[in-house]
Amino acid sequence: MMRPSIAEERAHAITDQLDQWPLSDEERAAMKARFATHWKRHGALAALAFFVLTALAVSAFAAFCELISLTTFFAAAVCITAAELLIRRRRMYGSGIETALWIGGLLSLIFGLPHSGAPEALLVIAAAFAIAAWRMQSAIFGTIGAVFVAAYFADVWHGSHQYWQVAAVPLAMLLAAAIAKRLVIRRPWLEALLSYLVIVMPLVAEICGRIASWSSRGQIEMVIAYGLLGIALIGWGIILRDHAIFISAAVCFGVAAFEAQDLVQIAIEWQLIAGGVVLLAIAGIVARLLRGREAGFVSTPQRLTRYDELLKTAGSLAAGSMLHERPAEAPAGVSGTAQGAGSFGGAGSTGDY
């Protein structure tokens, strides 16, 4: 299968983060040259623009094929073939064009099938996004496929009007993804997929459960359940030091607050004021607890030198050595640090170098 290797994908992830590091222009250029691969990629905004434009072109091409009686199967074959040619011949991977061609071809193939209105069509669409996610290493496509799976079970169990029966599927995906983040994931796109699932699934559970239960009013058991889930995720996030899990906990607390608003007979303005006061109180307590701490979770900003971020490249340079056969050399314009040159801290660790 022609696609970036693990080392190349890690190099892409490092290159995408270089703009956030406090490096000089010469150092940044040297690092980009160090982790350069033969794949042609675009930045996030450019890739998004090319994806949208290509998706529109694929839609127009599929409509034109139907108009001249070539069916959408022909359009799907042309799109997928064109995507593979761009990947294999032009080495385009992450430009947005080949990604839109792949998913557009799969969806054209699905929409050309006979329509029966059965809920299993949602699983077919989910399979299409799963295939595109695996081929294009797209965490977003994988998340969309998981949402369609949750929507399928919501449609199948819609007649039961049971909130928790429908919400159990996305919540199970949430717990599975949160536990899987304990593992060492070698491919960055799989790690991003787990993060997206952890963040999105609480909201998907709430939406699907509300639709299935035909209820617009909150229930006390939902408030308690999502509140406890948020607390558990905070504890798990502290253990793993994972930002996505903390964000998921915030989403769970948001769902619990949304469910609780119908249970409190107070004007919405006063509810918002009370929520703001609670958030300010929590922020004050956390700031006071972290005051003066120099290890573990800290809040005191430390003065960083331009070499501190280079500590992140210890593993990066090892990944770069896998991309090139020549011996590893220090990037031009980047000098080493001497003993006692400074200190570092954050993410649960401190030290001197």
What's residue 350's pLDDT? 57
Per residue in 64-115, pLDDT (tens digit) is: 988 888 888 899 999 999 999 999 888 888 889 999 999 999 999 998 888 7
Alpha-carbon distance 189 to 89, whole Å?
23
Looking at residue 352, its pLDDT comes to 57
Tens digit of pLDDT at every position of the chain (353 positions): 588 888 888 888 888 877 777 777 888 888 888 888 888 888 889 999 999 999 999 999 999 988 888 888 899 999 999 999 999 888 888 889 999 999 999 999 998 888 777 888 999 999 999 999 999 999 999 999 999 999 999 988 887 788 889 999 999 999 999 999 998 888 889 999 999 999 999 999 999 988 888 766 667 888 899 999 999 999 999 999 888 999 999 999 999 988 887 777 777 777 778 878 888 887 888 778 777 777 767 766 555 454 455 555 545 555 555 555 544 444 454 444 444 455 555 555 555 55
Domain ranges in the chain are 1-9+38-113, 125-265
pLDDT of residue 4: 84
pLDDT at 85 (0 to 100):
93
pLDDT score recorded for residue 335: 47
pLDDT at 228: 95
- Residue 145 is predicted with a pLDDT of 95
Write down the pTM of the prediction.
Answer: 0.78
